Amino acid sequence: MQYDIFLGIALTFGAGMLAQWVAWRFRLPAIVLLFTMGLLFGPGLGILHPSETMGWVFRPLVSLLVAIVVFEGGMALDIRQLREAGEGVARLTMLALPINWVLGSLAAHYVAHLEWGTAMLFGAIIVVTGPTVVLPLLRSAKLQPRVAAFLRWEAIVNDPLGAILAAVVLQLMLLHVDLHTGVFFTHTLPDLLAAATESISAGILPAYLIRYLFTRDMMPEILKTPVLISMALVIFTACNLEMEGAGLVAVTIFGMALTNLHIPGVAELRRIKESMVVLVVSVLFILLTADLHREVLKHLSIPILMLTLVVLFVVRPVGIFFSTLGTSMPWKERLFVGWIAPRGIVAAAVAGAAGIRLKETGYQSADLIMPAVFAVIAVTMILHGFSLRPIARALKLTLSNDPAIAILGASGWSVDLAACLHREGIPVLLVDNRSSALMPAAQMDIPVLRTELLSQHGQEALEERPADYLIATTGDGIYNGMICGHLAPAMGRERVFQISPGVARLDFYHGLSRDSRGKVLGEPAWNYTLFDTLFEQGWRFTSRVATEANAHSFGTDDNRLDILVSRRTALLIRSAEDSTTVVPMPGDLMISMVPPTDQTGTEREAP
């Protein structure tokens, strides 16, 4: 038994991280790979049996891990984003949910022939999309901000609301309460309202306590993240004791309150929790999928498969269509949101527990709840996971898929670099907090952003036009390092660069710490003064197409500053701190700063 537990833990963590890396490397939806691994290790090979191996601990553990995911998702809900998304979010969370419930229940009864009570429970479970599946897809999709806000808010808000709806329906079925009797209005409904009030209070009040402790330096930095997670778990458990599903509402509101109270330092803590949530989601998906028994798969039938298709192509699209009537949402956004609705962990967890309790109570169709929900989960994750990016691109709801670069600091030579990249069709954004400095670039139709990147507004503005790489080119080396260090966790430490702050400051031990600055652009001697002086002498940035004949000279000519190589799927930026040198391939575009004698225009040599 002990050997099985250790083997299962090691296999789950290892397979989860492998799936995440493969998904990142080849731009695949991670949830599909995790789902496949769970099926392979569980029903397929029979290696993992989580509920049998862990016993009664399994379900509570899953619930606590789900609470962590929902809490982190709540911290992504900024009220300012809600205002930008407009009434569409309110419609998706308030009107679409009951419409989808009714339509899903009707489909379950008339298509799959489930009893009315079981059908209503199925309808309540499938309204949950959930942040565990939606947020990982959004991270890699590069959707336009408003569309991403629609899906993010719907997933995070509907997750606890759907869980509570399913819990209420389940309780009514277990108690055999008739909605027309006085018991519902005198006991069930008041209990529901009381649980909702307690959940809201339990989410908001601790957030104010956290702000009090953090802003008065009454909490050491090392304890902040553990305290937040522990408090979220305590809130979740306490509210769930009052009513099943109320804990999800409470931790969502707790996360929202922390974000919207703008507590200093919470943004950095959120990055830590995001990394932890990736691990938690990976483990949850594999465990829950592996816990499916082969008997569940045997219950998959033609009526259940037909029900799944109706949910995908009728229930969700019709629900979104009616709930968004009269709004300002364009038809492309309505069509896209009507299609994308992958179900995940919460739906699986609720279905597994509900099916067992209904079967014990005597409902004949209780055995079909788990297979029916599993079919919806599997099909939506695969179809929506693989189709999200292609459909979004076809509807022109994505930002540019080409690697984009942000240049911080508008000077004569940095504007020339941006102009060179812009001429070659490389997405570029010039950032500065001075309008006068950005004017020359704006006159050349180069995208510009006037903001302070260390401000909250600057971070949000950069998120709307996301860049894959950053080069900090201001004359202040310390400021460049601050920007790079600030953006490195989000963009990737190997993708933030700055011009050299000076050779002495790059000393490995006494110089600026690598964690507090970006990678050096080019050579250590290439500081701001050098670029500025060369520009005054007439040096300019030009581009050349790499060939077999000239590719080997990249980075070796002292009479040229070779900056970067543009390839279809990536930008290769030179840095003396790289362990490998940048080697262009025939057909790549090489960007260099050259003296006046070499400025013969853009070379277009045939590869």
Report the 10 Å Cβ neighbour count for 247.
32
Identify the pLDDT of residue 177: 54
- 277-293 pLDDT tens trace: 788 888 888 888 887 77
Question: How far is it, in rounded angstroms, from Cα 321 to Cα 315?
Answer: 10
Across 316-330, 506-520, 521-535, least confident range:
506-520
Residue 493 confidence (pLDDT) above 60: yes
Cβ neighbours of residue 317 closer than 8 Å, sequence gap 6 or more: 338, 339
Identify the pLDDT of residue 308: 92
pLDDT band at 416 (very low <50, low <70, confident <90, very high): very high
Q: Positive or negative, the Cα torsion across 255, 261, 262, 266?
A: negative
Q: Positive or negative, the Cα torsion across 326, 78, 161, 333?
A: positive
pLDDT band at 602 (very low <50, low <70, confident <90, very high): very low
pLDDT band at 447 (very low <50, low <70, confident <90, very high): very high
Identify the pLDDT of residue 81: 62
Provide mean pLDDT across the span 515-531.
Answer: 91
Identify the pLDDT of residue 185: 63
**Average pLDDT across the chain, whole number:** 83
Identify the pLDDT of residue 603: 46
Place of tokens 């309540």: 124
Tokens of 109: 């009864």
Provide mean pLDDT across the span 202-222.
Answer: 91
Identify the pLDDT of residue 464: 67
CB 466, CB 404: distance < 8 Å: yes
Q: Decide which of 186 and 341 is more confident.
A: 341
Provide mean pLDDT across the span 125-135.
Answer: 78
Q: Are strands 469-472 and 496-498 parallel, antiparallel or unpaired?
A: parallel
Identify the pLDDT of residue 510: 66
- 564-589 pLDDT tens trace: 999 877 889 999 888 888 889 999 99
Provide mean pLDDT across the span 4-15.
Answer: 83
Residue 231 confidence (pLDDT) above 90: yes
Q: Decide which of 412 and 579 is more confident.
A: 412
Q: If you write DSSP's letter for every residue of 129-191 in order, what string do you get?
A: --HHHHHHHHHHH-B-HHHHHHHHHHHHHHHHHHHHHHHHHHHHHHHT--TTSHHIIIIIHHH
Question: How far is it, in rounded angstroms, from Cα 57 to Cα 338?
Answer: 37
Q: Decide which of 54 and 233 is more confident.
A: 233
Instruction: Supply the Cα-derived Rg of the chain in whole angstroms.
Output: 27
Residue 47 confidence (pLDDT) above 90: no
Residue 604 confidence (pLDDT) above 50: no
Identify the pLDDT of residue 4: 67
pLDDT band at 605 (very low <50, low <70, confident <90, very high): very low
Identify the pLDDT of residue 72: 80
Provide mean pLDDT across the span 441-450.
Answer: 93
Provide mean pLDDT across the span 306-323.
Answer: 91
Percent of the chain with pLDDT over 90: 28
CB 384, CB 151: distance < 8 Å: no
Question: How far is it, in rounded angstroms, from Cα 586 to Cα 549?
Answer: 9
pLDDT band at 196 (very low <50, low <70, confident <90, very high): confident
Amino acid at 395: L
Place of tokens 């408003």: 146
Count CA within 13 A, CB hemisphere, residue 155.
32
Identify the pLDDT of residue 2: 56
Provide mean pLDDT across the span 218-239.
Answer: 90
3-state secondary structure 415-478: HHHHHHHHHCCCCEEEEECCHHHHHHHHHCCCCEEECCCCCHHHHHHHHHCCCCEEEECCCCHH
- 57-89 pLDDT tens trace: 887 888 888 888 878 878 877 776 666 555 667
Tokens of 79: 């009220």
Identify the pLDDT of residue 367: 77
Provide mean pLDDT across the span 493-516.
Answer: 80
Q: Positive or negative, the Cα torsion across 124, 102, 129, 92?
A: negative
